[in-house]
Amino acid sequence: MPETALPAHFSRDPDGGLMIEQVEARLVAERFGTPTYVYSRAAIEAAFTSLTDAFGERAHRICYAVKANSNIGILHLLARLGAGFDIVSFGELARVQAAGGDPAKVVFSGVGKSAEEIRGALAAGIGCLNVESEAELHRIADIAGEMDTKAPISLRVNPDVDARTHPYISTGLKDNKFGVAIDEALPLYEWAHAQPALEIIGIDCHIGSQLTDVSPFSAAAERVMALTHQLAERGIRLKHLDLGGGLGIRYTDESPPAAADWVEAITSVVDADPLGRELPIWIEPGRFLVGPAGAMLTRVEYLKPGSHKSFAIVDAAMNDLMRPALYGSDMAIVPAGRGTGERHPGTWEIVGPICETGDFLGHEREMTLGEDDLLTVLGAGAYGFSMASNYNTRPRAAEILIDGTNCHEIRQREPLESLWALEKLPPAGD
Ligand SMILES: *Cc1c(COP(=O)(O)O)cnc(C)c1O
């Protein structure tokens, strides 16, 4: 089998070991243990720059979707590159601030913002609240009124476009819980326009994740532009268009568009319109910026060959990387360094130690493996660590940012005691 192509900034050393920038995966594993997430700083920067270059002089803002990878080291890197942020909880706003990000460049999405979250976001000087329902719009108006402030808002409209992606990550169809149906948005905007505590600044949509085709983006942009015209006719002038995230990446054999194609799909629609031409375009990519930049290192604990199925049991599990178990995602798993064990060719189920049949990282992988071998799951920079849990009382992995020849530990492996530090024994009964 030909080897899976490695993402940019990952390569092979002459002995076949994996390199992340100028650092050997083997050395990272020896120094920090496994499982461990590694991220290439250069890859994150290159992804960000590919988008800003594609926009060129065109007014735009790139709001990184924090939920893809919320480590403050990564947020700091992106803030320094000039990114804004898309958040879905007050906790994510606090992280952005801890990382040195500017709340004025943050958009707050999510269907269930609590009163406390809205209050906290307004107090912090949030850039925009992306409103997902009529009830939320009323709540925001009330809270901003009480606080004697003006809440900057966009309505998240649901353009009813099929993103043709996994049903769990498709969000722009009219039967999804997200946003308001685009044909019901007009009266809400008119109501908001009349509220002294609300300032309408834009319109927003986000149609799904891991899109590998630009056409749903253009279709969404067209519908959003049509509504923008209807609003202008009623004297409601928007200050930006936010077309969301969802830019797909290559996990195995996908061929996603390049940054320039994504941007062209949007600008060709928006800029063809005299009204659109004046409006800054905002986007909210998560996966695209950090996914290919990250990988998870794991070590083979045991080989369990069988006549029906052969298992390679590794030290990472579904709690460390949930995508395969949650979405049935196919992620590339490649050798990263030879161990000490005797090597066996085979077709392996790559599984973790957790007591769940759903605990797998990959099915039917043709590889020659030995115990103690180091493996790497590629494309794990997004929705990897950020979805990790402590199921089975497993401490979450370390996270290492690689920068040239340097390794920065941006999150240490969780100490075991911290897992129950907030728990208490009940008083002794009598
Ligand atoms: C998750 C999410 C994103 C980012 O999606 P990606 O597929 O990672 O680009 C952007 N906007 C909103 C509202 C989201 O919920």
User: Are 127 and 154 contained in the same domain?
Assistant: yes
User: At which residue do the structure tokens 């801890």 appear?
Assistant: 98
* Rounded distance between C-alpha atoms, residue 178 and residue 205, angstroms: 9
User: Are 117 and 260 contained in the same domain?
Assistant: yes
How far, in Å, from the CA of 81 to the mean position of ligand 1? 19
Q: What is the pLDDT of residue 5?
A: 87
Ligand 1: nearest atom to the Cα of 171: 15
Task: Identify whether the C-beta of residue 221 lies closer than 8 Å to the C-beta of residue 283.
Answer: no
User: Does 225 map to a domain?
Assistant: yes
**206 in contact with ligand 1, CB cutoff 6 A:** yes
User: Are 382 and 266 contained in the same domain?
Assistant: no
User: Does 68 map to a domain?
Assistant: yes
190: domain range? 42-286
User: Are 196 and 327 contained in the same domain?
Assistant: no
Site to substitute for ligand 1 among 176, 284, 329, most atoms within 8 A of C-beta: 284
Q: Which of 228, 261, 286 is the last residue of a domain?
A: 286
Q: What interhelical angle do 185-193 and 134-146 show, nearest 10?
A: 10
Q: What is the pLDDT of residue 1?
A: 47
Residues 6+ apart with CB under 8 A from 15: none
Q: Which of 258, 286, 314 is the last residue of a domain?
A: 286
Which protein residue has the closest C-alpha to ligand 1 atom 10? 245
How far, in Å, from the CA of 63 to the mean position of ligand 1? 10
Query: How many structural domains comprise the chain?
Result: 2
The CATH number of whichever domain residue 324 belongs to comes to 2.40.37.10
User: Are 352 and 223 contained in the same domain?
Assistant: no
User: Are 355 and 392 contained in the same domain?
Assistant: yes
Q: Which of 286, 315, 344 is the last residue of a domain?
A: 286
Q: What is the pLDDT of residue 4?
A: 75
Ligand 1: nearest atom to the Cα of 286: 8
Ligand 1: nearest atom to the Cα of 88: 15
Task: Identify whether the C-beta of residue 62 lies closer than 8 Å to the C-beta of residue 127.
Answer: no
**256 in contact with ligand 1, CB cutoff 6 A:** no
Asked about 355 being catalytic, the answer comes back as yes
**287 in contact with ligand 1, CB cutoff 6 A:** yes
Residue of 63, 128, 205, 355 marked catalytic: 355
Neighbours of 389 (CB within 10 A): 11
User: Are 50 and 23 contained in the same domain?
Assistant: no
User: Does 1 map to a domain?
Assistant: no
User: Are 337 and 242 contained in the same domain?
Assistant: no
User: Are 189 and 310 contained in the same domain?
Assistant: no
Mean pLDDT by 10 residues, the chain (430 residues): 81 95 98 98 98 98 98 98 98 98 98 97 98 97 98 96 64 73 95 98 96 94 97 98 97 95 97 96 98 98 95 98 95 96 95 92 97 98 98 98 98 98 90
**62 in contact with ligand 1, CB cutoff 6 A:** no
**411 in contact with ligand 1, CB cutoff 6 A:** no
Q: Which residues pair with 408 in a beta bridge?
A: 401
User: Does 426 map to a domain?
Assistant: no
User: Does 428 map to a domain?
Assistant: no
Structure tokens at 14: 């002459």
The CATH number of whichever domain residue 256 belongs to comes to 3.20.20.10
User: Does 406 map to a domain?
Assistant: yes
Collapsing DSSP to helix, strand or coil, 12 comes out as: strand
- Decide the pairing of beta strands 10-12 and 18-20: antiparallel
How far, in Å, from the CA of 421 to the mean position of ligand 1? 32
User: Does 16 map to a domain?
Assistant: yes
Q: What is the pLDDT of residue 191?
A: 98
Residue 113 phi, psi dihedral angles, 5° rounding: -60, 125
* Rounded distance between C-alpha atoms, residue 169 and residue 165, angstroms: 7
User: Are 240 and 119 contained in the same domain?
Assistant: yes
**51 in contact with ligand 1, CB cutoff 6 A:** no
Site to substitute for ligand 1 among 74, 203, 209, most atoms within 8 A of C-beta: 209
**60 in contact with ligand 1, CB cutoff 6 A:** no
User: Does 156 map to a domain?
Assistant: yes
How far, in Å, from the CA of 285 to the mean position of ligand 1? 6
pTM: 0.96
User: Are 254 and 319 contained in the same domain?
Assistant: no
- According to DSSP, residue 112 is labeled T
User: Are 146 and 251 contained in the same domain?
Assistant: yes
**248 in contact with ligand 1, CB cutoff 6 A:** no
Which secondary-structure segment (H or E) carries 351? Answer: strand 343-351
